[in-house]
Amino acid sequence: MQALNNQLKAASQEAISHGMEMMSTVVDSVNKASELVLNAAKENAETLVSSAKAYEPWSSEANWTNPTEVIAPTVEKASKYGKAGLQLASETTQALSTQSHTAVKNLSKHSEALMDEALSTLPQAEPVVKNLKAAIAQNLAFYEHAFTLASQAQRQFFAAGDQLFAQLDKNQPAEVVQMPKRKRA
pTM: 0.63
Q: What is the pLDDT of residue 69?
A: 63
Handedness of CA 152, 157, 162, 164 (dihedral sign): positive
Angle value at C-alpha 111, between 110 and 114, nearest 5 degrees:
85
Distance CA 121, CA 115 (A): 10
- Write out pLDDT tens, residues 160-177: 888 888 887 776 655 554
What's the chain's average pLDDT? 78
Domain map (residue ranges) of the chain? 2-170
Sign of the Cα pseudo-torsion (99, 100, 102, 106, in order): positive
Q: Rounded distance, CA 81 to CA 40, Å?
A: 7
CB atoms within 10 A of CB 115: 19
Over residues 56-99, the pLDDT tens digits come to 555 555 555 556 666 677 777 777 888 888 888 888 888 888 88
| CA angle, residues 132, 136, 138, in degrees to nearest 5 | 115
What pLDDT does residue 140 have?
Answer: 86
Which tens digit of pLDDT belongs to each residue from 20-65? 888 888 888 888 888 888 888 777 777 766 666 665 555 555 555 5
Least confident among 100-104, 116-120, 150-154, 179-183: 179-183
What is the predicted pLDDT for the residue at 151?
Answer: 84
Amino acid at 35: E
Split at pLDDT 50, 70, 90, the class of 108 is confident
In this predicted structure, what is the pLDDT of residue 54?
62
Report which residue type is found at 184.
Answer: R
